[in-house]
Chain A
Amino acid sequence: MGQYPPVPLLPPKERTKIPRHKIPEQDPMVRRTNFKEVNLGYTIEMAQAEAQRCLMCANPPCIGGCPVHIKIPQFIEKIREGDIAEAARILKEDNALPAVCGRVCPQEEQCEIVCVLTKKYQPVAIGNLERFAADWERENIGIQVPKIEKKTGKKVAIIGGGPAGLSAAGDLIRMGHDVTVFEALHEIGGVLVYGIPEFRLPKSIVKAEVDALAAAGVRFEKNFVVGLTATLDELMQEYDAAFLGVGAGLPYFMNIPGEELIGVYSANEYLTRVNLMRAYEFGPNDTPLINIKDKTVAVIGGGNTAMDAVRTSLRLGAKRAMIVYRRSEAEMPARIEEIHHAKEEGVEFMLLASPIEYLGDERGWLRAMKVQHMQLGEPDASGRRKPIPIPDAIEEIPIDVAVVAIGNGSNPIITRATPDLKTNKWGNILVDKTTLKTTKKGVFAGGDIVTGGATVILAMGAGRTAAKYINEYLMNPDFVWEWE
């Protein structure tokens, strides 16, 4: 009962000979001038041909590699059979935001790296297929509301409308609970709307997936800061359980001279102004950004956020946009695809270098940075080779804007207002590793507020785990809260 004719299954030998299908992309020289999506997505023919490559393993390792345990071979088989609606339905049993994850998950280090084909050939393009199925459903039949279990009468508060919270909400609503998401900003999506740029994840897609959750019955309270608008204790009088997915909070700076100069941004601020507040269309939108056109922008850091900021700079018209990273490319935490895309678009990489001072003019505007050149030493605690300053190798580089993308500390608002919520010395909330229960009864936590800065899908995985144990806590009177 598919929407397209099935593609007949070839013998496994022949299937392994099919090369992986590359996803069509906008030309680098064109896309560096616009904010439209870089990846264009598979056609139905490409998707079915790629689906043909899946060997349908009896014990599929890909499912174990996925933080939310999507039934990968099943949904891929449905694509090959031409039943894309069913493929999307299977996806959504495990993933509340498949169109988002198909775009921003690091599949190459999760499901695809463990694909049986990876050793001898190239892995099945699981992420591209996930994206295809989710996009197809949204564009052709509209996002379908999943089956909701009988109402339990239990109320769950989800604090934070980012990936962790949305994924928890998606599961809990299907389990029949009453779910309300509290979001501090004026839009739902957290890092998906303020952090990840339009060219990697269009806001309309996030909105469509959020709307689908609303259609399934999830309630959203925007402009609500738990800890200030109401305390967690007050919410707990009304709700039977809560999940804290408030994300990483305060951006780190390096505490080097000159970081107060105009033109030094945190990546959070730079990206929020451009993405959430749409400063790239200043005029119709009221939020400004320093004029980037024909300027030199240095982005400090080597993660995905740094890549987002530097590629955003090109699109804002920067004359030069560079990554400044203290280790070498091999140690960069960013996805390979993002580094590759950045290079294609003309981003410069200044590796083994770290700013030690920003220099300004008399009006307080940034005009240059001093960088210390580095060499790699022995591996450090993270297992990556540690950068060591090369004596006297200090260079002054004229720049107009610096974007500091070196991670985030934890936001103090909720913990400040909730003394019985225990945190570690960095302010991350302490949780039981299996159940994600906190030290406060009925309250679970997950995502960046627990782990420190990580990825969208890890946060979503935490949201799912929490949802499972919240359900357990609500429905099973024997659930033990006390920590062992």
Chain B
Amino acid sequence: MNKILEARFIGPNVKLFKIEAPKIAEKRKAGQFVMLRVHEKGERIPLTIADSDASEGWIEIIAQGVGKTTKLLNMLEAGDYIHDLVGPLGKPSHIEYFGTAVSIGGGVGTAIAYPIAKALKEAGNYVISIIGGRSKEYVILENEISKFSDEVYPTTDDGSYGFHGFVTQKLQELLDNGKKIDFVLAIGPVPMMEAVANITKPYGIKTIVSLNSIMVDGTGMCGGCRAIVNGETVFVCVDGPEFDAHQVNFKVLKDRNNTYLLQEKEALHDFECHLDNAFFTLLKKQKNGEN
């Protein structure tokens, strides 16, 4: 079990956790993820490592409470424990000097884009960050990202903050204004990543996306996370999670990510209707550090 050192909401339903994990912190590179289980009957879910400190022995993850597992996770506080945590998994991001790099984060995808943007900056790139959200409170990590970006553009769908429109419209605007862009990283909902890929393709701009497939083990054993890239089957957990956006079959990714919609809905419903059920006993035990 891994102890939570710090936990705070950074947006509506979006919580940041600093977790004690010295071995993972020591090894982890930008773009890698962990698999975790909240409790002993929990499912294994992948979450990208947002930040880490090897000398202090912690990693940071950011989770948006959308289903039962992430909502359970977001109930945990500093001092509680994560039942199982394994990593760092997946291949690290390929970081090099491209010139001008645009990092685009949509919603909680910003949390995944953030460490990569940081690494791109450290590699000498001129980094432009576009961080989108439905409205002002959904724009996360702006301060953190500003530290590693030469330009930052928050965008909101409703215009309550920053640029009024989608992240893709901001990207298009930059291109229309003649900005020379050498590299684009896009992380967020599948339709957003697909839209970014469609924009950059005619310009021939190298574009990378991080795929959020459903996983079980996260080490290549089950093949549940398979995606189609360049017409071939890949396992996102060991071959990715990052791929060339212009070669990803987004339709397959979207479809496969909907596999368990029914069960997820049912689980969430049961969970929210039985707020006194066994899970809370379990969680309580876990809060006390019992196994």
Chain B CB count within 10 A is highest, among A249, A287, A365, for A287
B222 near A268: Cβ-Cβ < 8 Å: yes
Contact between chains at A273 and B85 (CB < 8 Å)? no
Q: Is B224 an interface residue (CB 8 A)?
A: yes
Main secondary structure of the interface of B (DSSP, over half): mixed
Set of chain A residues within 8 Å of B42, measured between Cβ atoms? 286
- Bound form: Cα–Cα A364–B86 in Å: 31
Alpha-carbon separation in the docked complex, A262 to B264 (Å):
16
User: Is B219 interfacial (CB-CB < 8 Å)?
Assistant: yes
Q: Which residues of A contact B220 (CB under 8 A)?
A: 249-250, 411-413
From B37, B222, B262, A186 is in contact (CB under 8 Å) with B37
Given A268-B223, A288-B263, A277 and B255 contact (CB-CB distance below 8 Å): no
**Quick check: B86 and A224 within 8 Å, CB to CB?**
yes
Say yes or no: B86 contacts A268, CB within 8 Å: no
Inter-chain contacts of B228 with A (CB < 8 A): 260
Q: In the complex, which residues 11-54 of chain B have their Cβ closer than 8 Å to any Cβ of chain A? A: 23-24, 27, 37, 41-44
- Contact across chains for B221 and A249 when beta carbons are under 8 A apart: yes
Residues from chain B with a CB closer than 8 A to the CB of A277 are 43-44, 216
Cα separation A305 to B270 with both chains bound (whole Å)? 34
Classify chain A: how many residues form its interface, as a range: 35 or more
At the interface, yes or no: B100 with Cβ under 8 Å from chain A? no
Residue in B27, B233, B262 whose beta carbon sits within 8 Å of that of A255 in the complex: B233
Known: A222-B84, A364-B252. A288 touches B260 (CB 8 A): yes
| Residues of chain A contacted by B87 (CB below 8 angstroms) | 225, 228-229
Interface membership of chain B positions 214-241, coded 1 if the CB is closer than 8 angstroms to chain A and 0 otherwise: 0011011111101110000101001000
Residue of A whose beta carbon sits closest to that of B226: A260
Residues of chain B in range 170-223 having any CB-CB distance to chain A below 8 Å: 216-217, 219-223
B265 to A: closest C-beta gap in Å: 10
What size tier do the contact residues of chain B reach?
35 or more
Q: Smallest distance from the beta carbon of A402 to chain B beta carbons, Å?
A: 13
CA distance A186 to B226 in the complex (A): 22
B259 to chain A, nearest CB (A): 5
Tell me which residues across on chain B come within 8 A of A285, comparing CB atoms: 41, 43
**Chain A residues with Cβ under 8 A from B263's Cβ?**
282, 288-289, 291
Are A250 and B235 within 8 A (Cβ)?
Answer: yes
> Hey, which chain A residues are within 8 Å of B264, CB to CB?
288
A74 on interface, CB distance cutoff 8 Å: no
B86–A225 touching, CB < 8 Å = yes
Please determine whether B223 and A253 come into contact, CB atoms closer than 8 angstroms.
Answer: yes
Is B258's beta carbon under 8 Å from chain A?
Answer: yes
Complex contact A287–B88 (CB within 8 A): no
Whether A269 pairs with B23 at a CB distance below 8 angstroms is no
User: Which residue in chain B gives the minimum CB-CB distance to A285?
Assistant: B41
A225-B61 Cα distance, complex, nearest whole Å: 19
For the complex of A and B, the 8 pairs showing the least CB-CB separation, nearest first, are A364-B255, A288-B263, A269-B222, A223-B86, A266-B223, A286-B43, A287-B43, A186-B84
Q: Residues on A close to B: CB < 8 A?
A: 184-186, 194, 222-225, 228-230, 249-251, 253, 255, 259-260, 262, 265-266, 268-269, 272-273, 277-278, 282-291, 363-365, 411-413
